[in-house]
Structure 1
Amino acid sequence: MRNKGLKNIALFTAVAMLITTYGCASTQSDSSAKQQEDSKQTKNVSNEPGNDSETVINIARGGDTVTMDPIFAGDNVDIWMDGLVFEGLVRTSTDGKNIEPCLATDWDISPDGLTYTFHLKDGVKFSDGTPLKAEDCEYSIERSMSDGAWSSLISCIKEVKVVDDNTIDIILTNPSGSLLSCLASFVCAIYPKEYYSSTDSDTLAKEPIGTGPFYLEAWEPEKKMCFKKNPNYWESGYPLADEVNFLVVPDDNTRLMQLLAGQVDVITGVSTQMRESAENSKEIKIVDYPTTHVEYVSFNYTNDKLKDKRIRQALNYATNREDINKAVFGGIGTICPSIVWPTSAYFNPNQTSYEYNPEKAKELLKEAGATDLELNLIISSGDASSLMEATILKDQWEKVGVTLNIDQMDSAARREERNNLTFEVLLNYFTSDITDVSENMEMFCLKDNYDCWHLGWNGSEQEEAEKLVKEAGATNDDEYRKQNYYKAQEILADEALIVPLCTIPETVAMRDNVSGFEQGILGNYQLNNLTIDYQ
């Protein structure tokens, strides 16, 4: 894999120089024409050295966003972009350890823990120039509660009430230890009531309006998204960049070649193989951002081949996680026995951990009568690291008598197989969108959350885990929450619904004249300080 990528670099470098500079071509409707008018003074020019009239930065990533309506965000390709356009009452610090003021300057909590009163920042405007009011916050949160795909994360909220134009009350049905973390997430993004209550869903998915540092100027699906500086942004002097283009380049080698050729400034999703090639260039720097990212293998619980948990446990024992970490992730990952990242306050260090034991795997497969077991593993096409991971799994499982066929699909086809539960085995990963562990546990234990996050899990064990997680979410008693989350993790481990591999950082490569690119521990892009030095 590594040699093939290096051989192609020279060829592509020549081709890449023919690629035209990426710029915006507006496709927005009249509903957001005002924000275009506000930015007319910004010229649409190329990102060339010495051109100081505008700062334009091109970022290449592996997949495209599906929707920019935050209540329907499905994957990280949606979620991580939302923070460019939207903000919440509060926000998470970059390291994930604290909740900070954002659109609210401060808040008060009643003695019984059931009422949170937020005081809004003065003078905030949306990107279309309309002022932020408490009714916008009320509408946004209530819309997420009633219509949103992630409403379970804020099920503790009973109602949102406007006190005055600058003050709102959030009233809970029960105390919650995760409320502030949820309010800081895309789930509770704030947007203008007038626009969102009168605009059709297709337009909202493509033409968002928020208070964030950028607004979406243009979007060519599966090609690029163009974000422009929000002329009405409340934080004076930011963002530093005038324009940020996110380009869809699914193939790892092609993304790397474009970076080396100077056709893009930043690439995301840098694999170990890409890293080794990029490190040979003095003009490229590589940064690892700590995250909650857990790599794992999904089993379809509804598939007859995988219904017996002894088979799933056997495949866990048949997997050498250390070898995968070294080969695929260059050893930068941390072996993890759970879907909960190890630095979380509620990570259970004593849960069942499946150490590599091929003999135990064979024994369990024999007990389950799973002779000549053949499974299909779906991975994303063009993803070199996934192909390497799949190839290693194929070899490891073959040693215990399991045949693993690798099926490469484009992102849309893979997503459809996952969402419809028509797959057998799937390479996957999960990143938390809040600093509280409740999201991870609710996604994988609550049946209403996409069939336990596309596992199809059901039965008495699932019901018990769901009960524990719901109870943990209905209190702010830290010790009680910890006990319940520990027990739920033990059930998940015994059921062996996934093969958790390791937690890994998000690795980004960029030209050495780029600075200020940040990803928080939740993976969301933080680009207020993003800029480029043309000297």
Structure 2
Amino acid sequence: MAVLLVCSSVLVACGGGSGADHNGKTLIYGRGADSTMLDPSLVTDGESFIVTENVFNGLLGFEKDSMEVVPALAESWEESDDGKTWTFQLREGVKFHDGTDFNADAVVFNFERWAKQELLPTEKDAYIYYGSMFGGYEGDEGHIIESVTALDETTVQFKLKEPQGPFLANLAMSPFGLASPTAVKGDPKKFAENPVGTGPFKFESWKKGDTITVVKNEDYWEEGLPKLDKVIFQSIPDNSARLTALQSGDIDIMDGLNPDDSETVSANDQFQLYERPPMNVGYLAFNVEKEPFKDRKVRQALNHAVNKEGLIKSFYGGKAEPATNPMPPSIWGFNQDIEGYEYDLEKAKELLEEAGYKDGFEVEFHAMPAPRPYMPDGRKIAEYIQADFEKIGVKTKIVSPEWTTYLEETNQGKHDMALLGWTGDNGDPDNFLYVLLDKDNARKPANNIAFYKSDKLHDILIKAQRETDQDKRSELYQEAQEIINNDAPWVPLVYANPTLAAQSNVEGFTPHPKGSDKLKEVDIGQ
């Protein structure tokens, strides 16, 4: 109730969720948590990307309803015969929100700051995604980008050390939105809270823990867009409270709809129900650098102790399926032959005894404090798993710090085991298997929060990256999934079908598979 009262006081000042106030058309987007930072190259969480997706453009982007790569700030590109040189022709006349010019030098600046880990807001921050997608940073053996050069004002050239199969898809990802060099150099810390891009909306304000407001970029390069004058991203942590806000007209769109509430929304003609195309996995990661999770049999035992069907019935309303691999079946290269670990408590006890833990053990269990598309209620899901683990003698203490702290603790390896998940960024298996489970990405701050390191897996994943034939890449990724399944650094929990809801007068909203939506074509009717 306190949350709703706060929301109401804020939204009255904005003119409510009707879409119209004295400043024009305003859309209020209800979500489960606040952003962590607003420099997309520094974050890995969807709550940050949902904002930055609308403030920045990359060289490339994705089709509005699929993972097809399309032009953005680059109008066209050419690939050399050996796949190592890519030349991009840039869009002319584009300006950053601070009025400075977008050009080839700006592209070079952004990629060099990421590669060199320069102009970070604090010592603890890092351009995590850059390292994950391009094999590390300047000076690292695996770093795939040899150079980025401005050939002239509107032409930029990338030279790679080796071909990279997902290179174009990587460039289209949200983390590689291009920032104003002037704004970043002026104050990197301020930039992380006050972003300046070329996107359809310009940053206006941020009330931490409450709202982020962006306003129409009147000079946006796509003619006639955006259609809205303002978007307010409203944080309402509880899914049910967010639905109440939608029903009362205080917000226009909400994500994180409880699965059980989907029928309520679809039965009411005042609302629209959306289903985001599934491209995610929710998982429980074991920190394999810590005892007892260094032992593979322990990890396999806990895989046998999780009742995934029960989880789906209790928390997903049937809008999910049990996960077997660390990537969803909607991604090409998925290994259909892997059946996963059956729910078998006796088998779990047997494996624990073989590992020397007949009487079990005690560990901390990090549970997500914020709802995410793949994890509607992390605390309750953790309690459900906790009860099954106790049946095999494994006692867990659930800890659930606030969202920003949770992400920091897990990517620094302070957890024993932790719930988390991933919504794909580019539609490529590399974005799941390499990013989340390769040894390269166990560097801190880590995307590989299991801190799992397999040389055999690494060799296969690098080979797959450097292969350009998709059929050959698919074979390699299927082999990689077999290794991961046997080593069991995770319990893959579910592949979810997330639902969203909106007022009936919201027009042009298309949920994107990658989990963050461009709102440039959204409008509010009468």
| Fold similarity call, TM over 0.5 | yes
Q: Which amino acid aligns with 1:21?
A: L
Query: After the TM superposition, which residues 164-179 of structure 1 pair with which residues of structure 2 at under 5 Å, given as runs?
Result: 164-179=152-167
Residue of structure 1 aligned with 2:432, choices 429, 440, 458: 440
Q: Which amino acid aligns with 2:459?
A: K
Q: Following TM superposition, by how much is the alpha carbon of 1:352 offset from its aligned partner in structure 2, in angstroms?
A: 5.5
Change in Cα spacing, 1:241 to 1:375, as seen in structure 2 (3 Å) is: same
SS at match of 1:240: coil
Residue of structure 1 aligned with 2:421, choices 429, 432, 442: 429
1: CA distance, partners of 2:3 / 2:265: 15
Q: Which amino acid aligns with 1:368?
A: A
2: CA distance, partners of 1:159 / 1:382: 39
Change in Cα spacing, 1:49 to 1:125, as seen in structure 2 (3 Å) is: closer
TM-score, scaled relative to structure 2: 0.88
Query: Are residue 163 (structure 1) and residue 151 (structure 2) matched?
Result: yes
* Residue matched to 1:79: 49
Residue of structure 1 aligned with 2:451, choices 457, 462, 467: 457
* Residue matched to 2:237: 250
Q: List gaps (5 residues or longer) in structure 1.
A: 1-7, 24-43
Query: Are residue 149 (structure 1) and residue 128 (structure 2) matched?
Result: yes
SS at match of 2:340: coil
- Please tell me whether the aligned partners of residues 299 and 497 of structure 1 are also in contact (alpha carbons under 8 angstroms): yes
Query: Are residue 91 (structure 1) and residue 54 (structure 2) matched?
Result: no
Sequence identity (%): 29
Q: Which amino acid aligns with 2:411?
A: N
* Residue matched to 2:31: 61
Q: Following TM superposition, by how much is the alpha carbon of 1:479 offset from its aligned partner in structure 2, in angstroms?
A: 4.1
Of 486-495 and 268-277, the range deviating more from structure 2 = 268-277
Residue of structure 2 aligned with 1:222, choices 206, 209, 213: 209
- Please tell me whether the aligned partners of residues 33 and 370 of structure 2 are also in contact (alpha carbons under 8 angstroms): no
Residue of structure 2 aligned with 1:380, choices 368, 385, 389: 368
Change in Cα spacing, 1:409 to 1:501, as seen in structure 2 (3 Å) is: same
1: CA distance, partners of 2:6 / 2:176: 41
SS at match of 1:55: strand
Query: Are residue 308 (structure 1) and residue 278 (structure 2) matched?
Result: no
- Please tell me whether the aligned partners of residues 291 and 520 of structure 1 are also in contact (alpha carbons under 8 angstroms): no
Q: Following TM superposition, by how much is the alpha carbon of 1:202 offset from its aligned partner in structure 2, in angstroms?
A: 0.6
- Please tell me whether the aligned partners of residues 127 and 231 of structure 1 are also in contact (alpha carbons under 8 angstroms): no
* Residue matched to 1:70: 40
CA-to-partner distance for each residue in 1:294-335, whole Å, 9 max, x for gaps?
011111212213222111111111222122122211111133
Query: Are residue 392 (structure 1) and residue 392 (structure 2) matched?
Result: no
2: CA distance, partners of 1:395 / 1:403: 9
Change in Cα spacing, 1:493 to 1:265, as seen in structure 2 (3 Å) is: same
2: CA distance, partners of 1:333 / 1:501: 10
Q: Which amino acid aligns with 2:44?
A: G
CA-to-partner distance for each residue in 1:365-424, whole Å, 9 max, x for gaps?
222232133343222347562233223223333343433443333213322431332222
CA-to-partner distance for each residue in 1:34-68, whole Å, 9 max, x for gaps?
xxxxxxxxxx7665477586001111211111212
Q: Which amino acid aligns with 2:215?
A: K
Query: Are residue 356 (structure 1) and residue 343 (structure 2) matched?
Result: yes
1: CA distance, partners of 2:116 / 2:281: 30
* Residue matched to 1:192: 180
Q: Following TM superposition, by how much is the alpha carbon of 1:211 offset from its aligned partner in structure 2, in angstroms?
A: 1.3
Change in Cα spacing, 1:135 to 1:511, as seen in structure 2 (3 Å) is: same
- Please tell me whether the aligned partners of residues 519 and 525 of structure 1 are also in contact (alpha carbons under 8 angstroms): yes
Query: Are residue 236 (structure 1) and residue 215 (structure 2) matched?
Result: no
2: CA distance, partners of 1:18 / 1:78: 23
CA-to-partner distance for each residue in 1:8-43, whole Å, 9 max, x for gaps?
7xx998x579524266xxxxxxxxxxxxxxxxxxxx
- Please tell me whether the aligned partners of residues 290 and 504 of structure 1 are also in contact (alpha carbons under 8 angstroms): no
* Residue matched to 1:137: 107
Change in Cα spacing, 1:49 to 1:298, as seen in structure 2 (3 Å) is: closer
Change in Cα spacing, 1:245 to 1:495, as seen in structure 2 (3 Å) is: same
Residue of structure 2 aligned with 1:483, choices 471, 475, 496: 475
Change in Cα spacing, 1:289 to 1:457, as seen in structure 2 (3 Å) is: same
Change in Cα spacing, 1:62 to 1:469, as seen in structure 2 (3 Å) is: same
SS at match of 2:186: coil
Query: Are residue 109 (structure 1) and residue 109 (structure 2) matched?
Result: no
- Please tell me whether the aligned partners of residues 378 and 423 of structure 1 are also in contact (alpha carbons under 8 angstroms): yes
Q: Following TM superposition, by how much is the alpha carbon of 1:245 offset from its aligned partner in structure 2, in angstroms?
A: 0.5
Residue of structure 2 aligned with 1:413, choices 376, 388, 405: 405
2: CA distance, partners of 1:124 / 1:406: 49
Residue of structure 2 aligned with 1:290, choices 250, 266, 277: 277
2: CA distance, partners of 1:216 / 1:51: 19
1: CA distance, partners of 2:182 / 2:449: 38
Q: Which amino acid aligns with 1:138?
A: V
SS at match of 1:232: coil
Q: Which amino acid aligns with 2:54?
A: L
2: CA distance, partners of 1:50 / 1:156: 48
1: CA distance, partners of 2:364 / 2:435: 24
Change in Cα spacing, 1:18 to 1:364, as seen in structure 2 (3 Å) is: closer
TM-score, scaled relative to structure 1: 0.86
2: CA distance, partners of 1:17 / 1:521: 28
2: CA distance, partners of 1:16 / 1:444: 37
**Paired residues, what number?**
501
- Please tell me whether the aligned partners of residues 144 and 188 of structure 1 are also in contact (alpha carbons under 8 angstroms): no
Q: Following TM superposition, by how much is the alpha carbon of 1:213 offset from its aligned partner in structure 2, in angstroms?
A: 0.6
- Please tell me whether the aligned partners of residues 335 and 478 of structure 2 are also in contact (alpha carbons under 8 angstroms): yes
* Residue matched to 2:121: none
1: CA distance, partners of 2:293 / 2:254: 37
2: CA distance, partners of 1:53 / 1:220: 19
Q: Following TM superposition, by how much is the alpha carbon of 1:494 offset from its aligned partner in structure 2, in angstroms?
A: 0.9
Change in Cα spacing, 1:338 to 1:458, as seen in structure 2 (3 Å) is: closer
Q: Following TM superposition, by how much is the alpha carbon of 1:277 offset from its aligned partner in structure 2, in angstroms?
A: 5.4
* Residue matched to 1:332: 319
Q: Which amino acid aligns with 1:402?
A: V
Change in Cα spacing, 1:182 to 1:61, as seen in structure 2 (3 Å) is: same
* Residue matched to 1:19: 9
- Please tell me whether the aligned partners of residues 150 and 156 of structure 2 are also in contact (alpha carbons under 8 angstroms): yes
Q: Which amino acid aligns with 1:151?
A: Y
Q: List gaps (5 residues or longer) in structure 2.
A: 118-126, 135-142
CA-to-partner distance for each residue in 1:143-202, whole Å, 9 max, x for gaps?
222223223313322111212212121111111111100111133322333333x32211
CA-to-partner distance for each residue in 1:458-512, whole Å, 9 max, x for gaps?
55xx122122212222332434433332222222111111111221133212222
Of 383-392 and 246-255, the range deviating more from structure 2 = 383-392
SS at match of 2:156: strand
Change in Cα spacing, 1:453 to 1:50, as seen in structure 2 (3 Å) is: closer
* Residue matched to 2:123: none
2: CA distance, partners of 1:65 / 1:450: 23
